[in-house]
Structure 1
Amino acid sequence: MTQPQHDAQTPNIPEDEAPEVSVEQRLAEQVELVSAELEQLRAQVLLERADLENQRKRLAREVENARRFANERLLAALVPVFDALEAGLASAPEADPLRNGVELTLRELTKATESNGLATVAPAPGDAFNPEHHQAMSVIDAPGVPGGAVAQVFQKGYLLNERLLRPAMVVVAKAD
């Protein structure tokens, strides 16, 4: 008859001499396990709450941006109308009765679009060139205008709720 082989790590202790684990020790071990699991679940719940809050904030931002820029295509389509009305005013004689009508139309159109977030980017000669709002068409020698500043405006630009819709097209003064 062969004797059972024992694992090298398992001590060879007869059953009647095995240390007994008390009920209190077993309960304490179970309480520790349950406490660890509870802490893990609490951490998971906190992470999920933070994730939901981030999603809620992101969705609110997206809804706000959609609301602010919903009319972007319409306002972008109206920009050439501004250009045409201003070109008409520039070529109309001062005493022309149609000029008053065009000025009134332009004023009303401007008021309506401004109330929807459209703002004009119209730098004056001598203003600093801003590459975020201006597009340089050329560079010229411009006496009396500091180098790197706007020397002439070809076309106004427009912002929609502080987002560039069309840059102002400008000529920049050459640096000395």
Structure 2
Amino acid sequence: MAIVALVLSYGVGRVQQHSSDTNVFQAERNKAALDAARAQLKAVDEARVEGRRRTVEISEIANEATQQVVIARADARAAGAAADKLRARVEQLVATGRAAGNPTVAGASPSQPGGDPLDVLVDVLRRTDGAAGELGEYADNLKTAGLACERSYGALTQGRWEEASRNM
């Protein structure tokens, strides 16, 4: 009988120990799962904050680029207006010279090829000024777009470089 009691008490002890071990293992597993869930929530929150930061920075860059384009176009219009005044003044001087009967200003003689040199000069001035204005506007737009692109790229990659340097 003593052996049976000893075996029974050993069996009951093993069952209790197994139950205790199972409870400890389950608690550790629950704690690990809870820690992983917290870490995942933290990572999601950090990603949201970084996404918002990037979106705000990209929007600011786009707004600044738009303002720079507006300023460049206003400057181009002002330069165009000044060029128009200059062309009008040149045409006025040519007309005044012709009206005065000045043969040097009045133009070429019929024997000279190419027509009136002043008309040619005015035409060349008009064409070069127009082409320069178009090229200037194109260059301003390219510069603004390029700078905005560089800043946008920097805003998007800034977080990655900082994160990579923290993980090193």
Mark yes or no: TM-score above 0.5. no
Of structures 1 and 2, the larger Rg is shown by 2
Q: Which of the pair is proportionally richer in helix?
A: 2
**What interval of TM-score do these two structures reach, taking the shorter chain for normalisation?**
0.3 to 0.5
TM-score by length of 1: 0.42
